[in-house]
Structure formats: C-alpha cells, structure tokens
Amino acid sequence: MKVLVIGGGAREHALCRSLSLDPDVTALHCAPGNAGIAEVAEVHPVDALDGAAVAELAVSLDAGLVVVGPEAPLVAGVADAVRERGIPVFGPSAEAALLEGSKAFAKDVMAAANVPTARAYVCTTPAEIDEALDAFGAPYVVKDDGLAAGKGVVVTSDLAAARAHALACEQVVIEEFLDGPEVSLFAVTDGETVVPLQPAQDFKRALDGDEGPNTGGMGAYSPLPWADPKLVDEVLRTVLQPTVDELRRRGTSFSGLLYAGLAITSRGVRVIEFNARFGDPETQVVLARLKTPLAGLLLAAATGTLAAVPPLRWSEGAAVTVVVASHNYPGTPRTGDVIEGLAEAAELDSAYVLHAGTKCDEEGRVVSAGGRVLSVTATGPDLAAARTRAYEAVSRIRLAGSHHRTDIAAKVAASA
Ligand code: AMP
Ligand code: GLY
C-alpha cells in the first residue's frame, strides 16, 4: 500500500515512523513533512491546507491511503477533496471536524447524545458573558469558540482576566470548572465501529509544576498506572460510541480519529473537549506502544471495515516523550537555530527523536522552524525506565535558547 501523510509535526513524524515499520506499506510520502520525516518518507512541498493540491498529489502518487494529521486541513475540507477523487482517507469531513472546530457544536452533540461534560453557556454579548461568569463563579473557564491551536482557553480565578478574554472572542463558551486529573483517550472509528486506543496524559503548561501559560503540549506518557482499568470501556460506552452514533444520526458521520480530552472528577468522567485528529504529543507515546501494524487499522477506518479488525495488540511497557521548544514558545518562537546532537541522541537504545518544527537550511544543517521543535521519545519496561532514557536523549541535544520541562512523568514514575 502506498500511503501519503499530510502535515509536518511530531505527530506526523510518529505516524510516518509507525507506517514505515508496517510491512504492508510499500511507499511512504508526506506533505509538507519536516527534516526528520524526510528520513523515513519522501516529502513533497505541498500546502497541507490546499485540498485541490493535496488531492492532485495523492492521485499522482497513486496513494492507496491518505492520512490527514492536523486539525486545520480537516476543518478546511482537505479530507473531502481527497475522498472525492476516490482515494480512501483517514480523517473526518469538514462538517464532522466541526466537533473540534466549534466548541458550541461539540456541546450540542454531547447534549443530544447524553455525554457527560461541563455545564456551559455559549455567549455572544457582554451581558451574557457577565451572567455566565457570575453563574459559575471562580475558577473561570473561558473558551474561544473557534480553533485556536490550544491557546483559546483561559482558566483563571481573576474575574477581570476572564472577562477580558471572553470579550475578545466573537463567540465564547463559558463553562463549569472541572477538577481532577486529565486523560487523553483516542479512538479510531469508521463512523460506526469505535476502537479505542490506550490512554495517555499530556502536560499542557509550559513550565515545571504545571506553571506558566498553556501550550500545545510539552510532553506525555502512557500507560496510566493510576487509572481505573475499566476507564477505557466506560468511556467507550458513555462518550465515544454515543458521540459517533449521534453524528451518524445527524448525517455527518465521523470517520478518522476521535480524541476525547477527559477530566476524571470526583463526580465521574467528564469530557473537556473533543478533537478530530491524533493529539500531539500523546500520539508519540501511544503509537510507541501499539504493536498492531498501523496502515491496516487506518485503512479499515477509511473504508468502513473496522468491525473486521482483530483486537489491537499493545506492548506491556511504557513510553515517555519530552518536547524541546524554541526560545520564547508559546509566545512567538525564535526560529533558525541550529540543532546539534541528533546523531548522539539516536545512538541510545529505545530512544528516538521525532521532529516537530524543523527544516534543513541551505547548508544541509537541521534548524528549528517552529515553536515545538522536537519530541524526544523513549520506551522502556516501565515509566521510570522510559523517562530516564527520554531525558538522557534530551541531554544530548543542543539548541540555543531552547527549553523543556524536566518533570514529564516524574510523579507517576516515582509512585509506580
Ligand atoms: P481545551 O482546549 O478545551 O482542551 O482546554 C485546554 C486546557 O484547559 C485543558 O486541557 C484543561 O487543562 C483546561 N480546561 C479546559 N476546560 C476546563 C474545565 N471545564 N475545567 C477545568 N479546566 C479546563
Ligand atoms: N495534546 C493536546 C492536543 O493535541 O490538542
């Protein structure tokens, strides 16, 4: 099977790495890719947001499967453009991707499907905003309704800051604060059958101890030894299957990756958000543990044959990933810095460096090209071992001005 992956971050590098290890994959392409992806796939300088260009590329490559990684192309209808050319696509239609693209739409689907989530008001006027903030009290949770790359959400006890963020949004969702640990659970679906993957946890704040601003994610680990072993079955029954069924009932079948961001509260599991694609950096650790070949699974979702796929196989071990970010991320990042030590890091057993924002400069050097630059991933028999290996690999990498969290999976590794 010839596979084309759309996107160019660490998630797409992880997808390409797994696909490159699948014996059924005869050719692997990626657009636009990055410097690391170029080592496992043939990269093409095609704009991921341009549906017509992506579809044309897929046809010219004779692709048997196209996998769309990020949310922006999905919301822009890139999966639809490829599907129209008769090529199987892993990724939802633009209409179904609204589950991620509009928080108000997601709330509406959850209400109809009886899926447990935070109580929320959708507000457009200052009066509505004040009423909602007053109704819930602190801490305030204020979410821009549209796509905001993980930066549209403000959680604060400062009423003035909550109000200012809400007023800056065209439409805003104000909701009840959910306490308790967060879990990311991904499921592969063809619109009918839902196959959950193993849960992971990510670290959203920029600094150690969950301090600092929200980011796209600074690290992740899997499995979650502290989670109830029945969690995945419960979420499948109460969240994932009802949501997929409700979307099908509405005539907007969702096929691809359904990502449930969950809070495990004292009153039970609640959905914080849905995403319409693999999470980043959680994908790096989930795929590190998946033993079932990836291409067949994604193709089954793309062609409506997931019910026939045998149960997934998982490694018993653990995986940890640590994100190395540019100077000033999550603010406007500095780019163009040379990355050194990649070869030394690659010499370590069971560790590998996935590229997020990188490119090759004119002299053939790998340089930073985005906010999150690398996602350094390692596996091991347990979380403590995986964590030690990941940080050993991080220590071999040199990138001027970069920063990373030093406490990814620290607590869980110490208590396991
Ligand atoms: P989202 O973009 O919806 O995932 O929100 C980003 C982050 O904000 C989440 O991962 C949570 O840490 C936090 N958050 C979002 N909604 C809530 C909520 N209702 N209660 C508490 N924290 C939340
Ligand atoms: N890790 C959070 C996300 O992918 O949205």
Q: Is the pLDDT of residue 416 over 80?
A: no
- Which residue among 273, 277, 282 has the greatest number of ligand 1 atoms within 8 angstroms of its CB, and so is best to mutate? 273
pLDDT range class, residue 333, cuts 50, 70, 90: very high
- Which is more confident, 304 or 147? 304
**Topology (CATH level 3) of domain 318-415:** Glycinamide Ribonucleotide Synthetase; Chain A, domain 4 (3.90.600)
The percentage of residues in the chain with a pLDDT greater than 70, rounded to a whole number, is 99
How far, in Å, CA of 6 to CA of 13, rounded? 10
CATH 3.30.1490.20 given to domain 119-175: yes
- Which residue among 275, 375, 408 has the greatest number of ligand 2 atoms within 8 angstroms of its CB, and so is best to mutate? 275
How far, in Å, CA of 338 to CA of 138, rounded? 44
pLDDT range class, residue 148, cuts 50, 70, 90: low
Render pLDDT for 187-198 as a digit per residue (tens, 0 to 9).
999 999 999 999
Q: Is the pLDDT of residue 126 over 70?
A: yes
CATH 3.40.50.20 given to domain 2-90: yes
Of 320, 310, 293, residue with least CA distance to 412: 320
Q: Is the pLDDT of residue 125 over 70?
A: yes
145 near 104, Cβ under 8 Å? yes
39 Cβ contact list (under 8 Å, min separation 6): none
Which numbered ligand comes closest to the C-alpha of 321? 2
What is the structure's pLDDT at 214? 86
**Cβ of 217 less than 6 Å from ligand 2:** yes
How far, in Å, CA of 189 to CA of 283, rounded? 16
Q: Is the pLDDT of residue 6 over 90?
A: yes
How far, in Å, CA of 206 to CA of 218, rounded? 7
What is the structure's pLDDT at 145? 85
What is the structure's pLDDT at 24? 97
92 near 31, Cβ under 8 Å? no
CA 127 to ligand 2 centroid distance, Å: 32
**Cβ of 150 less than 6 Å from ligand 2:** yes
Average pLDDT over residues 92-115: 95
pLDDT, mean over the chain = 96
Reduced DSSP (H G I as helix, E B as strand, rest coil) percent helix, strand, coil of the chain, to 5: 35, 30, 40
Which CATH number describes the domain made up of 181-308? 3.30.470.20
Which numbered ligand comes closest to the C-alpha of 9? 2
pLDDT range class, residue 149, cuts 50, 70, 90: low
Atom of ligand 1 nearest to the CA of 177: 20
Render pLDDT for 313-329 as a digit per residue (tens, 0 to 9).
999 999 999 999 999 99
Sequence ranges of the domains in the chain: 2-90, 119-175, 181-308, 318-415
Q: Is the pLDDT of residue 21 over 80?
A: yes
Render pLDDT for 263-279 as a digit per residue (tens, 0 to 9).
999 999 999 999 999 99
**Cβ of 2 less than 6 Å from ligand 1:** no
How many other β-carbons are positioned within 10 Å of the β-carbon of residue 146? 15
Render pLDDT for 25-81 as a digit per residue (tens, 0 to 9).
999 999 999 999 999 999 999 999 999 999 999 999 999 999 999 999 999 999 999
**Cβ of 204 less than 6 Å from ligand 1:** yes
Which numbered ligand comes closest to the C-alpha of 200? 2
Of 172, 159, 90, 86, residue with least CA distance to 123: 172
**Cβ of 155 less than 6 Å from ligand 1:** yes
Q: Is the pLDDT of residue 119 over 80?
A: yes
Residue where the block lists tokens 């970069």 = 402
What is the structure's pLDDT at 150? 54
**Cβ of 414 less than 6 Å from ligand 1:** no
Render pLDDT for 219-266 as a digit per residue (tens, 0 to 9).
999 999 999 999 999 999 999 999 999 999 999 999 999 999 999 999
Render pLDDT for 297-315 as a digit per residue (tens, 0 to 9).
999 999 999 999 999 999 9
Residue nearest to atom 19 of ligand 1 (CA): 177
What is the structure's pLDDT at 151? 60
